[in-house]
Each structure stands twice: as structure tokens, then as C-alpha cells.
Amino acid sequence: MRVLVVEDEPALALRLQKALQAADFAVDVAYDGEEGFHLGDTEPYDAIVLDLGLPKIDGITVLRRWRQAGRTTPVLILTARGQWSEKMTGFDAGADDYVTKPFELDEIAYRLRALIRRASGHVSPELVCGRLRLDTHSGRVTVDGQPVQLTAQEFRILSYLAHHAGRVVSRTEMMEHVYDRHFDSDSNVLEVLLGRIRRKIGADLIETVRGQGYRLGAGAEPAR
């Protein structure tokens, strides 16, 4: 899953980026509201972490502009402001969740996973599609009850397919959601990794739909 962090404190932005990357997210970072708005308005993120006290354009204004433009990406507000009235302002502007500084880095990852899961229509942290089970919190994957060992990149690809099980996901969509904006989209790494995943979980679980993309769980509806 791909997320955007909009945070003007370089040290905190770096800590968030590293922690989220370690939690299997692809992460882009913006250091002011102007850049943050532009990225959130033009790139297909699965979730956004947004500080309120930003230079150039404040976080509340950025969020309102996204929502007015029809952007529905889940947004987690991150701020040192703790008053309830300020939290209400964030929610009224379109925030989906709220964390006050200081915070635990692991909490941000957990909250983002929950936001992304709910946005794709899933309630449980465990995504089930036929014989496949994928735990979004622990990173555990099993097929017919047997554990499957995946690399971080393989897990990220399979997780995106599991969140959208039963739907055809194009190559372009996959690349946009499992890699950051600096990745070379012309490389064949996605196809190589999909081949590895198929060998590990069973070739029948990921269907190639000619000319369209890939679909997880041919003939099996995801559990919700």
C-alpha cells in the first residue's frame, strides 16, 4: 500500500517514513502544504498522514481542498494540537482519524492499515479469499492453513490484490499503489514478483486477465 506523509519537521518526517516502510508501506513525503496538496491531488494514495501546522498552506486548508475536489483518500490528521474544538475542525474538514503528538510510530501504521481496510470494504484485519488468508497486522499469509513466506515486496503486491479480491487490477494501478513515485514503472519487476508469488501460493489463485490485469481469487469471493 502506498501512503503520503505531509510533515514539515524533517526529523519526524524521516522517522515516519522509515517506520512505515518497515511496516511494508510505500511512502512519499512532502514537507509543506503546497507540495502535499499537489501530491494528494494528483497521485493515487491509499492513505495520507497530514500534519496541521504546515508552511505555505495549513493542513486544514489542504484537507478541505482535497475534499472539495472529490478526493476520498483516507486521511489521518497528525498534530500537536489537542483541544477537542481543533479535532472537530479536522473532522469537519474531512479527516478520517486523528492522532495527537507525541505518539507511537507503530500506532500510525496500525491506524493506517485500519483506514485502508475499511476504505476497501473490509472489517477484519484478516483478509480471506478462498484458500488464502492474509493478516494485515502480522503480515502472516497462509494457503490451506500452511504458512507462506513472502518478501516485503511480494507481501505488498499480494496485500493490494487481497484488499481488492475479485476485481481485476491493472498493471498501472498495481504499480501506482505498491511503489513510491520514484520507482521506474517501465521495469518488469512486477511481473517477476507476481511469478514468484504464484509459485509460493499456487498459480490458480492469481488469474491473468488478458489485456486488463490481474485478479486474486478466481471464482472465490473475499470474506468481509
**Which domains, ranges and CATH numbers included, belong to the chain?**
2-119 (3.40.50.2300), 126-223 (1.10.10.10)
**Contacts of 16-19 spanning 24+ positions with Cβ under 8 A:** 16/49, 16/105, 16/108, 19/105, 19/106, 19/108, 19/109
The label of the residue with cell 516502510 reads 21
Query: Cis (ω within 30 of 0) for the bond into 102?
Result: yes
Q: Tens-of-pLDDT digits for all 224 residues of the chain?
A: 999 999 999 999 999 999 999 999 999 999 999 999 999 999 999 999 999 999 999 999 999 999 999 999 999 998 876 677 778 889 999 999 999 888 999 999 999 999 999 998 888 899 999 899 999 988 999 999 999 999 989 999 999 999 999 999 999 999 999 988 877 766 788 999 999 999 999 989 999 998 899 999 753 444 44
* CA 97 centroid distance within chain: 15
**Distance between terminal CA atoms of the chain?**
19
The label of the residue with cell 513472502 reads 150
